[in-house]
Amino acid sequence: MTHLLHLDSSARRTSFSRELSARYAAAWDGTRTYRDLAADPVPVIGEAWTEICDAVLAQGITDPAHYADVVETPAQRAAWTVVEPLLAELLAADVVLIGAPMYNFSIPAALKTWIDQVTFPRMSLRGKAFVIAGARGGTYAPGTPRAPFDHHEAYLRDFVAGHYDVADVRFVHAELTNALVDPHLAGRDKERVASLEAALGGL
């Protein structure tokens, strides 16, 4: 049976990215693991994590099953107790579903912290699939004035495909969500609704 790792990272308990990711998860026919990175944030990496990372690189270890072989000091063991369950969840997944709103042109800090904890040199996740359920206050679609500022999809696509070597990466975005609160975007609410409906239909 296929397994889904479902991550949410929005600081809002009710958000468009959570709505989108929940829609995908509800239709999942298999087992699931859920982690709310905003409600239960993982700690940022520290020096001991960097020591583990350096040792993995120096020893040419590419199999995650052997990362723990380099853990030696008490500080490194403490760092590994954070990494181990997060990494196990990631490796067990056939599909990784990430609810990821755009914050300040990029991804939430809670999501970046998770990425830092579970990522090691030359680490391949080939064969897995990633689905990113995004939400943006404005519109960053190709051809729009703010498209060059999209460091949200661009970062995640480059990282997942480039570092993890994953070919199957899919994005759905609800755009113009700030039309609900920003008077300057009030006239674009129909576009917001259409974008959300298209995103929900694309899951």
**pLDDT tens readout for residues 24-63:** 999 999 999 999 999 999 999 999 999 999 999 999 999 9
Is the pTM value of this prediction over 0.75? Answer: yes
Q: Rounded distance, CA 20 to CA 16, Å? A: 6
Please check the confidence at residue 103 and state whether its pLDDT lies above 90: yes
Q: Which residues pair with 172 in a beta bridge?
A: 133
Instruction: Please enumerate, by residue number, every residue annotated as part of a binding site for FMN.
Output: 10, 15-17, 102-105
User: For residues 112 and 94, what is the distance between their CA atoms, to the nearest angstrom?
Assistant: 21
Nearest to 114 by CA among 72, 162, 62, 156: 156
Q: What is the DSSP string of 49-104?
A: HHHHHHHHHHTT---GGGGGGG--SHHHHHHHHHHHHHHHHHHH-SEEEEEEE-BT
Give the pLDDT confidence of 114-142 residue by residue, as tens digits: 999 999 999 999 999 999 999 999 999 89
CA distances from 28 to 1, 24, 103 (A): 11, 7, 27
Binding-site residues sit at 10, 15-17, 102-105
Distance, CA of 133 to CA of 173 (rounded, Å)? 6
pLDDT, tens digit, 9 for 90 and up, residues 161-184: 999 999 999 999 999 999 999 999
Residue ranges of domains in the chain, CATH in brackets: 3-44+93-201 (3.40.50.360)
Which amino acid type is present at position 172? V
